Chain A
Amino acid sequence: MSGSERSRKTRRIVVYSMTSIFFSILIAGIVYGLQPMILPFIIGAFLAYLFKPLANSFRGPAITKYIRAGALLFFVGSITYWGTTFIKASLPNEREKLQLKVRLQYRLNERYLSLMNLADGGKGNFIYKTLGQEFDELKKRVIDYVKMSDDERKRFLILQKEISDSDHENKKYYEYYLANLKNQKVDIEKLKSLAGSAIVAIEKPAGDDIGNLANIMRALSHWIILPLAFIFILLDKGQIFHFFLRLIPNRYFELAYTVAEKVDDALGKYIRGTMLECLLVGLTLFIGLFISGVELKMAIIIGMVGGLTNAIPFVGTFIACIMGVFYSLIAENVHSFLPFINENNLMIAVLAVVVIAHLLDNAIYQPLVVGSAVNIHPLVVILSVFGGSLMFGFAGMIFAIPTIVIIKVVTETLFAGLKDYRII
């Protein structure tokens, strides 16, 4: 190597190092300064990545990329809006929450008495005679857990007073309430008098609304980045990838492309496969529960939650099971499509639906839609999701699985590639 070439090489190293340091500092500064925008950006990019194959599949002379991106944004936006509105509407308000507690306590007690043959003066069945003491203790603990506090009781009575006499559906909870108190041997008259005492609602200061509006506007200004990221990444025809690949030295050019392609392929297959699997499990749960007699709104909620959480092995099944059992405990007036399912055996039907959904997932959905995708041990998935949520909260939970897939595929492909290209 001649002297001029050596000095050129030195200059090149210095320029590259200085540029790298400058851009590293700049990027770190930007990331730190724009922290609130990172999550919306990542979600927008993630959605674009997810829907890119769908956008590419809609082709035709009249369908430009702008129409495709706009239509998909509208579709994703509508689904998100519908989903959040539905979930918001499904969440119980204060009165419904208290009624739910009353109903749960009442139903639990009723179910226990009927299960142990203690209702209508019964002396208990064989199970009760053998293990009655232990079961009584367990029931007491559960009831203690769901029963209302004194403040909640006062609030419940006030809210019940606001209900008109013709509203029999809501009025019945007062009967349940009295029955619960009777079971707990509480002085009813004393409690009734409590309801009369005024509970002063905490008045919000006038400035609060303006403060809230400012907060909403600030949040909106951050989240506006989401549709922008979605549109621009969906419209991108490989320019971003070209840009980053241009930065790779010639020696690693083919290798870098191969690794990036393999990661993209594996990540895409895993995420899209898992999403489709979740959708199928959610649909199975919804249809099964609805046919069994679970009311429509509740069947949708259990299907949605069970389906979404199914991305974490076993968690989806477990959550759907808990929610279904909880619902079957408080279910009233069950109208099932199957004549043999009633209020008393709804719990068995719900458990059967959850088991069927789980079996279908393992036997058909997973092999069919996620079969060729990268294989990650369930324990690793669970640990990464919990670890992600501990470290970065909600965002960490969402992006834990994609991160694990990227790390696994990059490690595997990179080392194999480095050997194939005789770099190591």
Chain B
Amino acid sequence: MKPITKLTENEKKSALRIFWGQLRKVNRNVPEQDKIKFLKRIPFFELLKKHQLDEVARVVYEREYRDGEYIFEIDQPGAALFIIQSGEISVEIPTPKGEATQLAVISKNAFFGELALLDESPRSASARAIVPTKVLALFRKDLDKLNSTNPDITANIYKSLATIIGNRLKATNELIERKIKAVA
């Protein structure tokens, strides 16, 4: 008979982590695991750990849009952030003549409508699918709920959001500076 060796605290913690990890894997189905794998690649969620991504995956909604279909239109109240799983989205604003000016075309792994995670202010541009597109939607209300149950998750998401918005502000400032210099 083998002598029974006592586990150290760290070994106990590792064993428990493996045990709960296995249990979680058993609970998850294949599409959900795919969703988690996909979310892990998005910069928005890069600070999140695996079990935290698990919680986020539960509150995101998968939607499929046909070619030409609007995801949202300018001036509509913003309620969700969208992440492109596949396909392409045209971000555009309408001109007074009724035509649309394309601001950008974004594709897989990119996200848009992130300001809706902060408040209900109207969308500043429209988003239209230009090919059949799959997106994931994360609603502000779900994030608020997650904040009350898992504040560590939302803290990381908000941190990423702040960084992204900060970077965009910097880029806009630089653009304005360049334009002013060009005019001068």
Contacts and interface: CB of A to CB of B under 8 A. Distances in A.
B158 interface: no
Interface string A140-151: 000000000000
B161 interface: no
Contacts of B59: 238
Interface string B67-83: 00111110111011000
A250 B65 contact: yes
A237 B64 CA distance: 22
B83 to A, nearest CB: 15
Nearest to B16: A61
Contact of B149 (A56, A238, A250, A253): A56
B58 interface: yes
A422 B61 contact: no
Nearest to B82: A254
Contacts of B65: 250
B180 to A, nearest CB: 36
Interface in A253-268: 253-254, 257-258, 261
B76 A422 contact: yes
A129 interface: no
A421 interface: yes
Given A261-B141, A420-B77, A254 B61 contact: no
B79 A250 contact: no
Interface size class on chain B is: 20 to 34
Contact of B69 (A59, A237, A250, A261): A250
Contacts of A421: 76-77
Contacts of A59: 149
A242 interface: yes
Interface string A55-91: 0100100000000000000000000000000000000
Contacts of B79: 254, 257-258
Interface in B77-129: 77, 79-80
A257 B80 contact: yes
Contacts of A420: 76-77
Residue of B63, B64, B65, B79 most packed against chain A (CB within 10 A): B79
Interface in A32-62: 56, 59
B137 interface: yes
A245 interface: yes
Contacts of B80: 254, 257
Contacts of A237: 58
Q: Which of A238, A250, A420 has the most CB of B within 10 A?
A: A250
B149 A242 contact: no
B58 A238 contact: yes
A251 B108 CA distance: 22
A422 B73 contact: yes
A238 B142 CA distance: 10
A66 B117 CA distance: 31
A157 B93 CA distance: 91
21 contacts: A56-B149, A242-B61, A245-B61, A246-B61, A250-B63, A250-B64, A250-B69, A250-B71, A251-B70, A253-B61, A254-B77, A254-B79, A254-B80, A257-B61, A257-B79, A257-B80, A261-B141, A420-B76, A421-B76, A422-B73, A422-B76
Contacts of B71: 250
A238 B76 CA distance: 25
A417 B76 CA distance: 9
B58 A254 contact: no
Contacts of B149: 56, 59
- Interface centre among B73, B75, B77, by most A CB within 10 Å? B77
A404 to B, nearest CB: 24
Interface string A197-236: 0000000000000000000000000000000000000000
Nearest to A264: B141
Given A250-B63, A250-B65, A253-B63, A258 B58 contact: no
Contacts of A261: 139, 141
Interface string B125-168: 00000000000010101000000110000000000000000000
Nearest to B62: A246
Nearest to B75: A422
Among B75, B141, B149, the most chain A Cβ lie within 10 Å of the Cβ of: B141
Q: In the complex, which of the residues A242, A254, A417 has the most CB atoms of chain B within 10 Å of its own CB atom?
A: A254
Nearest to B142: A238
Contact of A254 (B64, B72, B148): B72
A20 to B, nearest CB: 19
A253 B77 contact: no
A420 B75 CA distance: 8
Given A56-B149, A237-B58, A238-B58, A254 B76 contact: yes
